[in-house]
Amino acid sequence: MGLLKPVDLGNCQAPNGVMFGPHVTNLGTDERTFSDQHIAYYARRAQGGCGVIVLEGMSVHHSDWPYERAPLASQCAESLNKISQELHKEKCLVIASLDHSGGQGSSAYNQQPLWAPSRVPEVNSREVPKWMEQADIDEVIEGFVNAARVAISSGCDGVEINVGQHSLVRQFLSGLTNHRDDAWGQDKTLFARTIIEKMRRAVDDAVIGLRLSCDELAPWAGITPDMAVELAPQLAACGLDYLVVVRGSIFSVEKTRPDFHEPEGFNTEITQRIQAVLNIPVFLQGSIVQPHMAMSAEEQGVCAGVEMTRAQIADPDLVNKMLADDVAQIRPCIRCNQTCQVRDARNPIVTCVVEPTSGHESTDPNWYTQVASKKVAVVGAGPAGLEAAYTAARRGHSVEVYEQKSNAGGIAAFAGPGGAFVHWLYEQCLSLGVQFRFSAHVDGSTDLGADVVLQCTGSRPGVPTYTLPDRSATFDVVDVMNGSCALPESGDILLHDPIGGPIAIALAQWLGPRAILVTQDNIAGNELSRSGDLAPANVRLAQQGTRVVKRALVRSVARSGEGVSVEVQDRYSGETTTYDAAAFIDCGFRLPTEHIAPQFHLAGDAVAPRTVLEAVLEARRAVFML
């Protein structure tokens, strides 16, 4: 239980070594301060037992405005004081994250040029930044120091300097982005060392941490693990109290916090190497969402603490449940990145597909308040049905679930990363006494003997947008993925993907060179950009030999011998091409199942087919209104 014991960070002591790391929330105000929603969000994790909370990164200088609601340190004294007071009630350490995005920022909000060590174009926007002059460098260094003063005087226990992703300081350290021939380029550590040293003198005995990219995944010029082992002690000697190991660069933003396609604990080896050469606590970061993995890392001497950010977005009570040795009760993070990665122009509020109250702590009710017991019947055992049953049972109702299939979980059980979540919900329901009736047919005349019936029956195939003389000429993607139909053992398989989402991509990747993926977009999996998986997904498809037909619409599908003949039209030229394939799989839009009876309350895909998040949220709302 070493991870759950107190950890000394400089002159402060954290109640345990579990960290809630800095991340974009979009909870900020228009004045670029922290909001009451921020306070509720962080306080919930503090109440859940977290030992160290590192706040959302604050820009240290007006030249940095990386996203619309990015906090600005000079504006945040009052709101930092409120956060500190609230979190200190729970005895956790409060660390302010200090940041400047440099050439990885945005000029959209302040309409000023980006500042960077050298004129290296920003990867996504292609914008060329301004080469920082000496006066600019001096201003930013002083900005870091002043931001630290603001944070400490406002009650924070310490500050953390971002030298990881979206960091000007990392850009000065790296040969990828620092091409200067002056003192700031000849000694690439000078900028970082100067900031740490001046900050240490300014804030005296306050905690100073560093978030350091120890592998930029670009060995031709970037920071490598071997370089990081030499670099970390140099920076620590300038006055650091702890260090967090991360990875990634301008060319690999998606690798800093990847989704479920990457293995968990990917920074373990380099973290152990860094901890071995430092005499300050080192924190392991990198898809650590399993309590046993976090505990094992500390026990094996990999690190002194573990950052478990996404795990605590999924379950804010994670640490308390670990302390109580009740890990089976922890709502699992599925590492989908669908709603917790919100650094984009839509400005969505941070939340979690398995825990939609995250980010909405100040407005959502306590879903599990006890009420007078009723008999509740739930029709359908997908995510919405399982969450409805779980919530109803937690509230004290007697619950029975009717599912036409022979098992629980719905589409989420076999498509995407949601299998672990629906399995967890099912096990929780069983432990609460929920009764399941599988292979059960329910219609309007079925007497369920319930006071209330919730219909959570999911979705059904949509209406084809192409000519289809014989419906049997197509396979529904759900039937393919759940194994209820068998594809031909040989021959090409054509996949129609008008959505650009993860399911068709996953199936195409599995089929490899047999797959011909037809998309109306300019790139396969267009909607995966929101979760950071767009580029990695296309890499996986290429590696598997999947063929992609872009900017194309399916016009007709007809039987042809033992297979099918598919006519595809280019959206721009109007030119048509016919593909002969062994099978055609429709991965298109779906429709809600029919309303069984008017007295049944609808939730999830039975209202409109969407994601797990809406299924969970609507299930809770439906139960809460009983």
Dihedral over Cα of 429, 434, 438, 443: its sign = negative
The class level of CATH for 2-329 reads alpha beta
* Residue that the structure tokens 């040969």 belong to: 175
- Tally DSSP H helices, then E strands, for the chain: 17, 28
293 within 8 A of 265, measured Cβ to Cβ: yes
* Contacts of 359 by beta carbon, 8 Å cutoff, 6+ apart: 25, 27, 37, 41, 349, 350, 351, 352
97 within 8 A of 55, measured Cβ to Cβ: yes
366 within 8 A of 324, measured Cβ to Cβ: no
Q: What is d(CA 473, CA 411) in angstroms, rounded to the nearest whole number?
A: 22
Could you report the per-residue pLDDT of 185-204, keeping only the tens digit for each? 999 999 999 999 999 999 98
What distance lies between CA 25 and its chain's CA centroid? 11
Give the DSSP letter of residue 72. Answer: B
CATH architecture of 375-458+604-624: 3-Layer(aba) Sandwich (3.40)
- pLDDT (0 to 100) of residue 184: 98
Three-state SS at 333: coil
> Domains of the chain: which residue ranges?
2-329, 375-458+604-624, 463-588
- pLDDT (0 to 100) of residue 344: 85
Which of these, 147, 165, 36, lies nearest to 96 by C-alpha position?
147
Could you report the per-residue pLDDT of 103-148, keeping only the tens digit for each? 999 999 999 999 999 999 998 889 999 999 999 999 999 999 999 9
Could you report the per-residue pLDDT of 234-249, keeping only the tens digit for each? 999 999 999 999 999 9
What is the pTM for the complete model shown? 0.96
Instruction: Give the mean pLDDT per block of 10 residues along the chain (626 residues).
Output: 94 98 98 98 98 98 97 98 98 98 95 97 92 98 98 98 98 98 98 98 96 97 98 98 97 94 97 98 98 98 98 98 97 97 92 98 96 97 98 98 96 93 98 98 94 97 94 93 92 97 95 97 95 94 97 97 96 97 96 96 96 97 94
Topology at the third CATH level for domain 463-588: FAD/NAD(P)-binding domain (3.50.50)
- Listed in order, strand segments (DSSP E) in 141-190 are 158-163
- pLDDT (0 to 100) of residue 1: 67
Q: What torsion, rounded to 10 degrees, do the Cα atoms 455, 459, 461, 462 define?
A: 100
* Residue that the structure tokens 């029956």 belong to: 457
- pLDDT (0 to 100) of residue 346: 87
Q: What is d(CA 395, CA 365) in angstroms, rounded to the nearest whole number?
A: 13
Which of these, 455, 382, 481, lies nearest to 425 by C-alpha position?
382
